[in-house]
A and B are shown apart, each in its own frame.
Chain A
Amino acid sequence: MKLRAALLGAVAVAGLAPAAFAERGTDGEVKLTFPQAVSIMNPYLSGGTKDILAAAMVLEPLAVTDPDGVLVPRLAVEIPTVENGGVSPDLTSITWKLLPDLKWSDGTPVTADDAVFTWQYCTHPEGGCSQATKYEGVASVEAVDPSTIKVTFTAPKPNPYTAFVSGLSPILQKAQFANCLGAAAPTCTDANNMPIGTGPFKVTGFTVNDTVTMEANPNYRDPAKPAFAKAIIKGGGDAESSARAVMETGEFDYAWNTQIPPDSQAAMSAAGKGQFVVAFGTLVERLEMNTTDPDPALPEGERSTAKHPHPILSDIRVRTALSKAIDRSILVEVGYGAGGKPTCNVIPGPAEWASDNDGCIAQDMEGAKALLDEAGWKDSDGDGIRDKDGKKLKLLYQTTVNPIRQDFQALIKDWWTELGVEVELKAIDPGVFFGGDPGSPDTFQKFYADVEMYANNSETPDPESYLGQYQCKNAPTPETQWQGENINRFCDPAYDALYAELTKTTELAKRQEIARKLNDMVTKDSMIVVPLVHRGTLSAHSNSLGGVRINAWDMETWNVADWFRVK
């Protein structure tokens, strides 16, 4: 009897064990697939999300942002704040404490020197570091002692969580990258492709633009994690084939960026092998209105500059009418399905930062027509196109070559035609449109059109730098080689003043209030930016992969250490 009880007890313990004391590397292999293959594992030399997502499984920053938009410590003991003394009261420095006994995957200790080196690496003038903005305004990074990192800023910084925060600025191992400073950075192929990190996995094999193979980091700080012994990232193909490999054939566990047409989403979900997950960040598909005249008859150098206000779109009533005529719900239904929702905001999230502006959601064709009538645009010759003072209401509407965008163009053209606006459509190769070549007439910065459509987002949940784009001084002009983020050439002293206030404000609630106001100034108050769809990142994971918490504020792979096999 005793023996039987003991055996039963043993069986019970054995049965419970996997749940209670999960062990490292017991769940086999996790397979990820990206439609764009990984080119390099060093986020400082890459700008592509695909590379940084992969690197985030290996390299770690001091802190990351979780799916709720809250900052959580990674390699740091806690998030420094003014209250706990980590941030100096005058906001000119922040002091991070590293976790005790932290080791690189090669077994050597992580020290504050590594962070200092990482800062030097990214700020080297010849390095061409793609994450340089993370270290903007940083005067120095010092190692106070081996586990204390002090970042000093050149001026008070209301948001000091930039350097070493998020998957975009992880800490590199000094020993590995010591000879890779500046111009030598791209020559360190091995280090760039197989960086030594502190994350749950370490790279064991890398083929450029194809496959990354990884295995569990033997020195990972949590002895029970990761649950997977191996990980593989296979790249290439397209969103459709990636989604299929997870949702229909079950070959892969996770597919990033599976933005496919809504009907395909439904068909693939029906196969029952996996599910789509969506994270809404700040990515907004929008129409940008040109406030300057892009008339080709104007001399080069004056076209699309503040010298000549736009003859049609300078009138807010026209801009508002164009927005009112659009049915954003139909756009979402046609283009994005679960991966999008209608929005009227440039900053649609996080919730506390987003304005309650939703006046544009319902289509109002009659209201739009009335507004145009009021503005003096009437169809005097009966050809269906409105005119005023002998000038036709005709717009050139451009965007990039992309099937969804062409659908949007067609729909919006229909609505605007109904309104009595003649619309000419133009689709430009994305490489040219976003290429920024000052010699090309087709870049989005040059804006040789009346209306253009694309998507943009804030890199961080705190939208300070994102809102800074709409300052007067950021308008692209011939003098700036057509560089600049204020695409609309929007110029409002009140906006600039309020933005200056934001950069000085430290209190969170107040910052959020100002941000909401700034958002309203460029959207509903001026209709300079006409937001259409709040786009999420749509990814897919198999039903047998547990622990996925998709994250719009940091890398999707941020919690890969917690992923496990559902048994």
Chain B
Amino acid sequence: MLTFTLRRLMLAIPTLLVISLVIFLLVDLAPGSPLSDIPLTVPPDVRQKMIEAMGADQPVFVRYFLWLRQFFWVEPAYLFDSWFGTTWSEGELRILSWQSRSPVFTIIGQRLPQTLTVIGTAYLVGVLIAVPIGIYSAYRQYSWFDQAGTMFAMIGFSVPTFFSGTLLIIIFAVWLGWFPTKYDTQLVVNDWESFLKQVRQMAMPVMTLGLANAAAISRYMRSSMLDNMGMDYVRTARAKGLSERTVVLKHVLRNSLIPVVTVIALGIPAIFGGAIVTENLFGVNGIGAALIGAIQGNDIPMVQTIAFIFAVLIVLFNLIADILYGLLDPRIRYD
């Protein structure tokens, strides 16, 4: 197991390097200019100066190697300095966003909390809704509950979040006035009142995303349960006279969870990635909103860094899912 993990980690290094180069070239080759948001009243020579000041006129490989150096040396050194008070990164240029001229990692640091709270909660809520629905739907296959569950999953799958989100806004914010439409990222939760405020502002984005998440996971849960329900060991358990509760929740559920846990683990990087549409709709301004804003503004350092962090997380969680699989199912060993 350990050798397997190490081998996979070693293999991840060249993979990630190739990914970083591909992302960089893709973003760079995409048409557009970092100055396309600037009013037409700014004359060409001033634009040229601005491009030069950003370093955007350098050849693509110079910029790529500079980025590599900044990502793997300057930024860790900076982090190390801020922890231990050393001066490794002194005089080095951190990765700066072209749009805001702020360090990209500072922006990510500012945005991660709301992404993790909102998107993370939505994921958790999605899982908590999906697992029971999946179990009961499978146990009572083709019952009215199963039909309703299928219907719910269908809606969750097919209704895009920009539609369901807007619908929620119109019902709960405009008509009923219960929830705010713009997420307050500066809210500090320190008492009961501010906690309620936080819950209220999270309600709509969490509902929107939770529905979409629950739809997918409940289908996995249901089909995995169905696979196991027909197995011989289930018949044996019943024949032994075990209660239905024990059969379903102990024997079937445990075995059915194995693939579902993998699916859930693989979905976790998406939490860090944020949700572009939902974040924009409710003004959550997390990582997803930062990424789309950077893409629109042709802010290459920002897009590159965020996209690369996603790549790292996806590679990492794939590995974690594989290891979890081995831990949950003793039949699977990688050595």
Binding site for B on A (CB under 8 A): 33, 37, 39-40, 45, 47-49, 125-130, 132-133, 183, 185-187, 189, 192-193, 205, 207-211, 213, 232, 234-238, 241, 244-245, 248-249, 251-252, 271, 429-437, 440, 442, 456-459, 466, 480, 483-485
Contact = CB atoms under 8 A, between A and B. Distances in A.
Contacts, number: 179
A69 B167 CA distance: 43
B140 to A, nearest CB: 42
Interface string B181-218: 11011100000000000000000000000000000000
Given A207-B185, A210-B285, A189 B103 contact: yes
A61 B185 CA distance: 31
A110 B107 CA distance: 32
Contacts of A208: 97, 100, 102, 106-107, 110
Q: Which of B48, B54, B184, B283 has the most CB of A within 10 A?
A: B283
Contacts of A440: 31
B240 to A, nearest CB: 59
B230 interface: no
What are the nearest 4 A-B pairs in CB distance? A128-B53, A47-B38, A431-B32, A435-B33
B281 A189 contact: no
B110 A249 contact: no
A129 B49 contact: yes
B101 A436 contact: no
B50 A245 contact: no
Interface stretch (B39-47, B65-73, B78-86, B308-316): B39-47
Contact of A40 (B31, B44, B54, B102): B102
A525 B236 CA distance: 94
B280 interface: yes
A498 to B, nearest CB: 21
A47 B42 contact: yes
B182 A47 contact: no
Contacts of B96: 186-187
Contacts of B33: 431, 434-437
B102 to A, nearest CB: 5
A133 B47 CA distance: 11
Contact of A241 (B42, B100, B281): B281
Interface string B94-136: 0011011111001100110000000000000000000000000
A267 B36 CA distance: 33
Contacts of A33: 182, 283
Contact of A245 (B39, B54, B181, B186): B181
Nearest to A38: B100
Contacts of A429: 31-32
Contact of B50 (A130, A238, A457): A130
Interface string B288-308: 011001001010000000000
Chain B: interface size category: 35 or more
Nearest to A189: B102
Contact of A249 (B48, B52, B174): B174
Nearest to B289: A236
Given A234-B184, A458-B41, 6 more contacts: A40-B100, A209-B290, A213-B186, A244-B169, A437-B32, A457-B40
A163 to B, nearest CB: 15
Contacts of B285: 37, 207, 209-211, 235-236
Q: Which of B96, B102, B282, B290 has the most CB of A within 10 A?
A: B102
A232 B298 CA distance: 27
B93 interface: yes
Interface in B1-60: 31-33, 35-44, 46-54
A431 B50 contact: no
Contacts of B169: 241, 244
A457 B111 CA distance: 35
B267 interface: no
B298 to A, nearest CB: 6
Contacts of B298: 431, 435
A73 B100 CA distance: 30
Nearest to A45: B101
A436 B44 contact: yes
Interface of B: 31-33, 35-44, 46-54, 93, 96-97, 99-103, 106-107, 110-111, 169, 173-174, 177, 180-182, 184-186, 280-283, 285, 289-290, 293, 296, 298
A207 B52 contact: no
Nearest to B285: A210
A287 to B, nearest CB: 16
A469 to B, nearest CB: 9
A79 B149 CA distance: 72
Given A126-B53, A128-B53, A435-B298, A484 B181 contact: no
Nearest to A234: B182
B102 A436 contact: no
B100 A130 contact: no
A33 B242 CA distance: 61
Nearest to B48: A483
B99 A39 contact: yes
Nearest to B286: A210
Contacts of B93: 187
A45 B102 CA distance: 11
Q: Which of B39, B99, B177, B289 has the most CB of A within 10 A?
A: B39
Contacts of A245: 181-182
A431 B107 CA distance: 23
A466 B43 CA distance: 10
A127 B54 CA distance: 9
A236 B181 contact: no
B54 A128 contact: yes
A473 B201 CA distance: 56
Contacts of A248: 173-174
Nearest to A282: B41
A237 B185 CA distance: 14
Contacts of A210: 110-111, 185, 285
